[in-house]
Every structure is written in C-alpha cells, then in structure tokens.
Amino acid sequence: MNSEGSVSIWFFIGISLAGNGLLILGAGLYQVAHPPAEPVVLFRLHANVWWGALLVLAGAAYCYHFRPGR
C-alpha cells in the first residue's frame, strides 16, 4: 500500500530487514574474529554472517525501491 503522501509498508519492512541484518552480520563477523568457547552446532558455516548479509541486501533493495517520495 502506498497511497499519496504515505510511506509504504514495504519500506518499513526494508528498514527492519536491513537493521536486523546489520546487527546479525556484525555479531557474526565478531564471532569469526573471536570464536566462542561454546559454539552452536554447524558454527563452521557462519550462518549469521551470510544470513545477515542476505537480510541487509534484501532490506536495502526494499528501502530503495519503496523509498518515500519515489
């Protein structure tokens, strides 16, 4: 929904995805540099790095495409 003068719901979703993605990516990179003493199962795959990066990309695309005033 994006009627005149309003911000699209997809823009809010973009903010949410990008914000969460950045935090997850940051936490993942920190863990790559400082591996935890008790890692989760499949830690070697560094899921928070690539999942965080995917969320940032998706979020940025939504923010750009549905930016206010576009």
Partner 1 sequence: MNLSLAVFVSPHLVHLSPVDAVIIIFYFALVLAIGFYLKRRSNTSEDYFLAGREMTAWIAGLSFLSANLGALELMGWAGASYQYGILAAHWYWIGAIPAMLFLGLVMMPFYYISKTHSVPGYLKLRYGESSRALSAISFAFMTVLMSGINMYSMALVMKVVLGWDINFSILVSSITVAIYVGLGGLRSAIFNEVLQFVLIWAGALLIPVLGLIEAGGWNNLRLQVAHNASAEYTHLWSTLGSFQSNPMGIHWTGIVFGLGAVISFGYWTTDFLVVQRVLSAKDLRAAKMAPIIGAAFKMFVPLIVILPGLIGIAVLPMKLVGEGAAVGTGGHSYNEVLPLLLARYCGPGLLGLGVTALMAGFMSGMAGNVSAFSTVWTYDIYSALFHKNASDQQLVRMGRWSTIGGVAISIGTAYLVIQFLSIMDYVQALFSFFIAPLYGTVLLGMLWKRATAAGGFWGLLAGTTSSIAMWAWVKVDPSALRYVALSPYARDMAENMYRALWSCLVCVAVTVVVSLLTAPKPASELKGLVYGETEIPSEGELAFYQRPIFWAGVVAVALVAVNILFW
Binding residues vs partner 1 (CB under 8 A): 1, 3, 6-7, 9, 12-13, 15-17, 19-20, 23-28, 30-31, 36, 39-43, 45, 47-48, 51-52, 55
Closest distance between partner 1 and the C-beta of residue 45, in Å? Answer: 7
Closest distance between partner 1 and the C-beta of residue 1, in Å? Answer: 6
- What single-letter DSSP state applies at residue 37? S
Closest distance between partner 1 and the C-beta of residue 61, in Å? Answer: 13
| Residue 6 Ramachandran class (φ > 0 left, ψ -120 to 50 alpha, else beta) | beta
- The residues, any chain, with a CB within 8 Å of residue 20's CB and separated by 6 or more, are 55, 59
